[in-house]
Each structure stands twice: as structure tokens, then as C-alpha cells.
């Protein structure tokens, strides 16, 4: 008996993902019918695929979902984490038709509308094991009607420059300055306030957009901050001219060492204003202080990474998305590690010993993920108030 959920069984496996190591995985083309190159990573989250799709930090990457059933919730505008999908491609075991009351459009239709290729029907867990054993791989995703051989696709994957040394923050940042959610229409969405009243604005903060997620901006507003978002290449002098009470360095994609203009801006701003950073912002601030970064074997992408707070001894379950990390043995005298990853002992947080500045590698705003580290936004507010 044929079940409705097995609709993909009727499709021909006419799409494939070719990896630089020679592996070719066939599946169903389920998104835009285009071909693209990208870096293949895996995400271990059980839910939140829409927030993952709209996270600008995935720019240049093919995201493989380890959870086998994707698409049931569809796509809705309220759960977007940025203005569009920035990833290069989406890899799934099975993509389902939506069956949720919040759905505005199906996942497949949104992928088509966004011009993002998707592939389903492959063994995503086998692919994940390969990436864990070998490390992140470059890939070529063939979803178009064009004729291309496996050999040519593998060669295209090998020839692609990859993400090392590439400035992708410039590709995803806002093109102009704007004030986040001036009418507070987007703040009280799906539990951000936790039943609290939205506080009045008492602080003005400038947020560098290297690929910022909207839930970060929501959490800053919940702390009473009016947030002005600026492009990634905004000079420190322009930020200082705005006379903010604090500065935020956001998450973002690719190699932090390539975002040299942001590192220079951070050098000028540290010590002059309270500063908080997340993910790429954490790496940029660390580099500005003299630390080094390195590429992880397969990155951290998921919603269940255990992180130890070294000050309290407590363990936080965190949401993460990054392929680079700050080297612990490179921390200069002015910085100290505040949080460590319990899976691989990499640095997850730093603070400046004399200047009002701290940053974390993980995502305290979640979306998707747990809210254990949400206190960090309050810590930033307290830092501003005490400055």
C-alpha cells in the first residue's frame, strides 16, 4: 500500500552530490534546478531547519541535516532569521510535504523561490560519518537539467577555492544602516519575552552585521537596547561618531582572518566602549587582541553542544555554527578564556582583563536551540550600565 508520505519514491534519482574525494551520492532534486559548489557540513539539530536555512553564517555551504525527516513544518515568515536563505545548498534524507498550521509555503517551494538547490533521498548519516572521519569536504551539487559527468563534477568540487581566506561577511551584510524593529513589531515572537513586558529603551547600541541573526537583535532589544545595525565594513570612527553606549559584533560566515577591516575596527573600539561578540564576532575580537584562529576538522553545527562556564562550573547546552575556533594557546595576556567546549576542549568564550569586552563562540540567542546561555545578553546590559 502506497502512503502519502512516500511521495518521493516516485521521483527519479537524477540529482547528485559530488565530493572532492571522489564520492558521488545520488538523490532527488527538490529545490531550485541549478548547480552549485559549496562546503559540505552537517547539522545535528532535530528541529529548526528554517532558522538554519536563513542563518547567514551558512553562506557558501551545503548543509546536511542528520535528522532524517525534514519539511513537515514548512516555512513561515515569523521564523526567518534573516532576509533570505544564504546557504549554497540543502541536503536531506527525506523532504516531506508540510502538515503544520503555521506553514505559509512548503520547504520545496521556498527553496525554489530563493534559488537554492536541494537534494533528498541520500544516506545523510553515512555522509555525516564520512565528514566526521575525513573532515569538511568541498562539493558540487548537480540539480539542473544540464548534462554533467561525475568526473567533471568531482573536478569542479576540487577546483573551487573553498572558504579559507575568503571574506563572506561582505556578501551577507546589510547594504545600509538601519534601526532594528523601530515599532517593536518583531520582538515579542515565540517566547523571546518569556511572559515579561518589553522594557523601555534605555541604551543605544551599534551592531556590526557580519551575518547577524534576527533573534540576536530581538534579545538585545529585550534588554532595553535600541539597536542600530551597520554594514560589516563600517569604520570605527563612524561608530564612535554615533555615540553609542555599547557595540556588538555579530555572527557570520567563513574565515575570520579574511575580515581584516573588522579586525582593525575592533582594535580601535576595544577599551573605548563596552563590547559583546558572538561567533564570528568572538573570533574577530580575539584576533584584534592578538590571538590566532584555526580551522576545525568538521566544525560545530547543532543545538546540543555542552559548554562549561569556567567561572561558575556550570554546563550550558548550546547552539553552535562555526568552522573556525580561537586557539587557546594563542590567547594574549590581556584575554582569558571564560567558557570551554566539553566535546573537544576548544575555546567557547573570552573576556578582556582590563577593558569592558567579552565574547562567546556559541549562539546564546539559540533559534534554533536551548536558552541556557540567554543570561549573556543581560550581562552585556549590566556591562553598559556599569561603564
**Residue spans of beta strands (DSSP E) within 133-224:** 137-142, 178-179, 203-209
Averaged pLDDT, 247-274: 98
pLDDT tier at 189, thresholds 50, 70, 90:
low
Residues 6+ apart with CB under 8 A from 359: 249, 275, 276, 277, 278, 281, 282, 285, 286, 349, 350, 351
Q: What pLDDT is attached to residue 3?
A: 38
Q: pLDDT > 90: what percent of the chain?
A: 90
In this predicted structure, the answer to whether residue 342 has a pLDDT above a threshold of 80 is: yes
Q: What stretch of H or E contains 335?
A: strand 335-341
5 pLDDT higher than 60:
no
Query: What pLDDT does residue 4 have?
Result: 45
d(CA 293, CA 285): 11
pLDDT tens-place string over residues 129-164: 999 999 999 999 999 999 999 999 999 999 999 999
CA atoms within 13 A on the CB side of 332: 12
Global pTM value: 0.95
Mind listing the pLDDT tens digit for each residue in 295-320?
999 999 999 999 999 999 999 999 99
| pLDDT range class, residue 191, cuts 50, 70, 90 | low
Residue ranges per structural domain of the chain: 4-159, 169-386
Task: Please give the distance of CA 378 from its chain centroid, rounded to a whole number.
Answer: 22
Confidence band, pLDDT 50/70/90 cuts, at residue 11: confident
Distance CA 28, CA 38 (A): 18
Class of domain 169-386: alpha beta
pLDDT at 6 over 80: no
Helices (H), the chain: 49-53, 107-114, 124-134, 150-159, 169-172, 214-222, 236-241, 260-269, 280-288, 375-386
Class of domain 4-159: alpha beta
Q: What is the pLDDT of residues 344-384, one digit of tens each?
A: 999 999 999 999 999 999 999 999 999 899 999 999 999 99
Residues with catalytic function: 279, 363, 365
Q: How far is CA 54 from the centre of its chain?
A: 8
The pLDDT value recorded for residue 188 is 63
Between 214-222 and 375-386, two packed helices, what is the crossing angle to 10 degrees?
A: 50
| Band of residue 13 on the pLDDT scale cut at 50, 70, 90 | confident
Mean pLDDT, rounded, for 49-54: 96
Q: What is the mean pLDDT of the chain?
A: 94
* Mean pLDDT computed over 77-93: 96
* Calpha distance 167→258 (Å, rounded): 5
Q: Identify the bridge partners of residue 141 per DSSP, sorted by sequence position.
A: 17, 36
Helical H segments across 183-254, by residue range: 214-222, 236-241
Q: Is the CA virtual torsion 269, 275, 354, 203 positive or negative? A: positive
Write the DSSP symbol of residue 319.
E
CA-based nearest residue to 318, from 266, 294, 282: 282
Structure confidence at residue 183 as a pLDDT band (50, 70, 90): confident
Amino acid at each position: 500500500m502506497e502512503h502519502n508520505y512516500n511521495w518521493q519514491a516516485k521521483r527519479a534519482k537524477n540529482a547528485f552530490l559530488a565530493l572532492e574525494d571522489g564520492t558521488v551520492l545520488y538523490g532527488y532534486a527538490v529545490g531550485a534546478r541549478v548547480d552549485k559548489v559549496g562546503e559540505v557540513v552537517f547539522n545535528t539539530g532535530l528541529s529548526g531547519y528554517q532558522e538554519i536555512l536563513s542563518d547567514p553564517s551558512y553562506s557558501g555551504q551545503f548543509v546536511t541535516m542528520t535528522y532524517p525527516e525534514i519539511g513537515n513544518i514548512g516555512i513561515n515568515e515569523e521564523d526567518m532569521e534573516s532576509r533570505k536563505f544564504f546557504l549554497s545548498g540543502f541536503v536531506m534524507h527525506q523532504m516531506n510535504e508540510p502538515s503544520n498550521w503555521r506553514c505559509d509555503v512548503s520547504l520545496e517551494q521556498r527553496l525554489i523561490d530563493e534559488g537554492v538547490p536541494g537534494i533528498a533521498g541520500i544516506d545523510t548519516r553515512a555522509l555525516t560519518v564520512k565528514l566526521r572521519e575525513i573532515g569538511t569536504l568541498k562539493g558540487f551539487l548537480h540539480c539542473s537539467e544540464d548534462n554533467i559527468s561525475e568526473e567533471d563534477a568531482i573536478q569542479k568540487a576540487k577546483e573551487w577555492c573553498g572558504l579559507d581566506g575568503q571574506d563572506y561577511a561582505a556578501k551577507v551584510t546589510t547594504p545600509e544602516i538601519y534601526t532594528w524593529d523601530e515599532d517593536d513589531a518583531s520582538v515579542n515572537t515565540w517566547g523571546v519575552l518569556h511572559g515579561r513586558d518589553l522594557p523601555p529603551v534605555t541604551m543605544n547600541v551599534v551592531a556590526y552585521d557580519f551575518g547577524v541573526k534576527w533573534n540576536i537583535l530581538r534579545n538585545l532589544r529585550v534588554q532595553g537596547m535600541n539597536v542600530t545595525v551597520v554594514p560589516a565594513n563600517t569604520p570605527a570612527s563612524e561608530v564612535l561618531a554615533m555615540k553609542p553606549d555599547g557595540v556588538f559584533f555579530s555572527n557570520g560566515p567563513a574565515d575570520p582572518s579574511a575580515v581584516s577591516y573588522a579586525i582593525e575596527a575592533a582594535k580601535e573600539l576595544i577599551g573605548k566602549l563596552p563590547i559583546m561578540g558572538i561567533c564570528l564576532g568572538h573570533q574577530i575580537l580575539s584576533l584584534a587582541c592578538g590571538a590566532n584562529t584555526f580551522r576545525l576538522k568538521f566544525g560545530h553545527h547543532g543545538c546540543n553542544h555542552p559548554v562549561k562556564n569556567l567561572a561558575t562550573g556550570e554546563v550550558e547546552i548550546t547552539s553552535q555554527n562555526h568552522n573556525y575556533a580561537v586557539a587557546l594557546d594563542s590567547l594574549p595576556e590581556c584575554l582569558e578564556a571564560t567558557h570551554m567546549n566539553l566535546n573537544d576542549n576548544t575555546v567557547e568564550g573570552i573576556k578582556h582583563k582590563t577593558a569592558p569586552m567579552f565574547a562567546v563562540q556559541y549562539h546564546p540567542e539559540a533559534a534554533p536551540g536551548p536558552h541556557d546561555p540567554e543570561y549573556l545578553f543581560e550581562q552585556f546590559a549590566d556591562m553598559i550600565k556599569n561603564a
